[in-house]
């Protein structure tokens, strides 16, 4: 009688493994074999499929001849082989071109503005498509780095421009306007002391002209760069803009209660320019009765919302012909922000500008 241990060894012999050798599971070996087949170039896949179809057709003819089948049965077998060939080629081409769908999805996301996306490799990718994918990813890497460098340069240009405008504005306010104020006082004193009526009237007229020039210089200084933006920040600057607009005849309110997070200076400058341009566009073209400014800082982002109840506009036509809208959109893009314009004729206009405060645009 054979011992139980010997029977077990005979029925299921255990393969010996050398030292340091690791066992590869059957499923993994199968997956690797399938991956190698799928990574064969498309020309090789088509050649293999056609060779398979040819072998099936030859086998069908051989079976038809050896079994003495009728012509109808032989044609049926041949048609089945042709049908199988069509299905096999369609399935093969579909599988082989599947990596192109990944490239298409990548292109769509890049077109939408997401330069951080990259095309991922697939199991059915052949070497040619793999090289195309790698080249596209390399181009996207270059575009991402170039865009970051351009933004840094643009932010530097914005900062330098704001500093220069602030300097010119201070010069106009503290020097030119002060000299004009002194000239106004001198002309007023000369008009008061004049003995001749004609001279008095002429001096008073000159005083009024000097007063008007002084007001224009102060307005120009405020337009170049409001001092309140540098001294107190964006929220008080928007409040000041609302008061000035209300004084100009359009009821304007500014809600800044939700803006409790600090906003970098260059971001505040861009958002203020957007608010000022939006209010100016409404006053020039929409004849609104009320304009509302709202500034909030939530979830690490600053959001500016400008609404008016004016005539509204056709957004497509405004985008094509309005340089002001183009300027606002471009300035928001330079700080990695978003700009949205919503309007319809007769329903007012809404401008929404949003900037993240914790990325390269907000820092």
Model confidence pLDDT, tens digit, residues 132-186: 888 888 888 888 888 778 777 877 777 777 777 777 877 777 778 788 888 888 8
CB atoms within 10 A of CB 240: 18
Torsion of CA 49, 55, 60, 61, to 10 degrees: 130
DSSP state letters, 28-90: HHHHHHHHHHHTS-HHHHHHHHHHHHHHHHHHHHHHHHHTT--HHHHHHHHHHHHHHHHHHHH
What's the rounded Cα separation, in Å, for the pair 238 and 304? Answer: 10
Q: Of 328, 339, 297, 332, which is closest to residue 155 (Cα–Cα)? A: 332
CB atoms within 10 A of CB 153: 11
Helix (H) or strand (E) holding 181: helix 177-193
For residue 253, what pLDDT band results from cuts at 50, 70 and 90? very high
For residue 7, what pLDDT band results from cuts at 50, 70 and 90? very low
Q: Which CATH class is domain 232-363?
A: alpha beta
Surface-to-core class of residue 55, CB atoms within 10 Å of its CB (0-12 exposed, 13-18 middle, 19+ buried): exposed
Please tell me the least confidently modeled range out of 30-39, 131-140, 246-255: 30-39
- pLDDT at 69 exceeding the cut of 80: no
Residue pair 237/263 in contact (Cβ under 8 Å)? The answer is no
- Kindly report the CA angle at 214 between 253 and 225, in degrees rounded to 5? 50
For residue range 296-336, list pLDDT tens digits in order. 988 888 999 999 988 888 777 766 666 567 778 878 887 88
């Amino acid at each position: 009688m054979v011992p139980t241990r010997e029977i077990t060894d005979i029925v299921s012999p255990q393969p010996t493994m050398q030292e340091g050798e690791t066992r590869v599971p059957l499923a993994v070996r199968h997956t690797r074999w399938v991956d190698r087949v799928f990574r064969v170039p498309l020309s090789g896949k088509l050649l293999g499929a056609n060779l398979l179809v040819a072998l099936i057709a030859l086998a069908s003819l051989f079976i038809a001849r050896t079994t003495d089948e009728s012509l109808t049965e032989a044609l049926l077998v041949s048609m089945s082989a042709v049908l199988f060939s069509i299905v096999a080629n369609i399935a093969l081409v579909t599988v082989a071109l599947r990596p192109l769908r990944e490239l298409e999805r990548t292109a769509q996301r890049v077109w939408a503005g997401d330069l951080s996306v990259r095309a991922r490799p697939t199991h059915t990718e052949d070497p040619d498509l793999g090289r195309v994918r790698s080249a596209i990813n390399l181009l996207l890497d270059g575009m991402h780095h170039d865009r970051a460098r351009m933004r840094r340069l643009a932010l530097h240009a914005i900062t330098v421009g704001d500093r220069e405008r602030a300097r010119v504005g201070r010069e106009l306010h503290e020097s030119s306007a002060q000299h004009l104020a002194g000239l106004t006082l001198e002309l007023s004193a000369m008009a008061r002391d004049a003995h001749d009526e004609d001279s008095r009237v002429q001096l008073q007229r000159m005083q009024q002209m000097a007063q008007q020039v002084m007001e224009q210089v102060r307005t120009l200084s405020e337009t170049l760069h409001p001092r309140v933006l540098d001294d107190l920040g964006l929220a008080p600057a928007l409040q000041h803009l609302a008061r000035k607009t209300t004084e100009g005849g359009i009821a304007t309110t500014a809600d800044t209660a939700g803006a409790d997070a600090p906003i970098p200076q260059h971001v505040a400058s861009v958002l203020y320019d957007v608010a000022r341009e939006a209010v100016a566009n409404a006053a020039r073209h929409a004849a609104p009765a009320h304009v509302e400014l709202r500034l909030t800082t939530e979830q690490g982002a600053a959001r500016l919302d400008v609404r008016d109840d004016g005539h509204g506009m056709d957004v497509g036509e405004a985008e094509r012909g309005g340089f002001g809208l183009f300027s606002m959109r471009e300035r928001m893009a330079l700080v990695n922000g978003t700009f949205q314009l919503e309007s319809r004729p007769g329903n007012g206009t809404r401008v929404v500008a949003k900037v993240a405060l914790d990325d390269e645009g907000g820092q």
